[in-house]
Amino acid sequence: MLTWLQNNMGTIAVAVIVFGILTAVAVKMIRDKKQGKTSCGNCSQCALHGQCHKNK
Q: Each residue's pLDDT tens digit in the chain (56 positions)?
A: 899 999 999 999 999 999 999 999 999 989 988 887 766 666 667 777 777 666 55
- Reported pTM: 0.64
Range of the structural domain that residue 32 is part of:
2-52
- Residue 23 has a pLDDT of 98
Q: Are 44 and 53 in contact (CB under 8 A)?
A: no
- Tell me the Cα Rg of the chain: 20
Amino acid at the residue 20: G
- Residue 33 has a pLDDT of 82
- Residue 41 has a pLDDT of 64
Question: What CA–CA distance (Å, rounded) separates 19 from 53?
Answer: 31
- Residue 46 has a pLDDT of 73
Domain tally for the chain?
1
Q: Check residue 36 and report its DSSP letter.
A: T
